[in-house]
Amino acid sequence: MHGFVIRLEFQLQGCASLKEKRQRTSGVREKLGRQPHLAIIESGQTDALQTGEWTLILLAPNRATADRHLSQLEQTLARSLDARITLFEQEPL
């Protein structure tokens, strides 16, 4: 089994409430959670309004596929997450 554990931290500038935070991030989180090779949890900063932290586990049948999924994940986050990514840390499993 090949994969990565990914820790993501981000800043939501101007976010004034937890409701707004949810609105700005839930779409991407759900989209990622539906991916057949990804699991995602909100792993920290749950009560913070302008920062967020997710942990993702990515599994794939081989290293090449895992690398490709990782690169797609980076692209999806850069394109779709309405926040400034302050940390994207991946550890191979």
Partner 1 sequence: MATQKKPVPALYIGVIMFALGLLIATLLHSARFSQGALSAPTAGDSLFTLQGEEYTPEQLPYAEAAALFELEQQVFERKSQILENAALQAHFQNLAKARNVSKEQIRNELIEIKPVTDEEVSQFFEANKQQIQRPFYEIKDAIKDALQKDRLQRAEHDLIASLKKQGQLSLHLVEPNAPVADLQLEGYPVRGAAQAPVSIVEFADFRCPHCKHASHTLRKILEKQSDRVRWTMVDFPVTGKTSVYLAQVAYCAGKQDKYWEFHDAFFDYEGKLNEASVAGVAENLGLDGAKIEECASSPEAVQFVEKEQNQAMALGLRGTPAIFINGLPFHGDNLEAALEEAVNAAVARSRAG
Binding site for partner 1 (CB under 8 A): 1-3, 5, 7, 33, 36-41, 43, 55-59, 61-65, 68, 91-93
Q: Would you say 2 or 24 has its CB closer to partner 1?
A: 2
Q: What b/e string do you get for 12-41 counting C-beta neighbours within 10 Å, with b at 16 or more?
A: beebeeeeebeebbeebbeebeeeebbebe
11 and 88 in contact (C-beta within 8 Å)?
no
Q: Would you say 27 or 92 has its CB closer to partner 1?
A: 92
CB of 25 to partner 1, least distance (A): 16
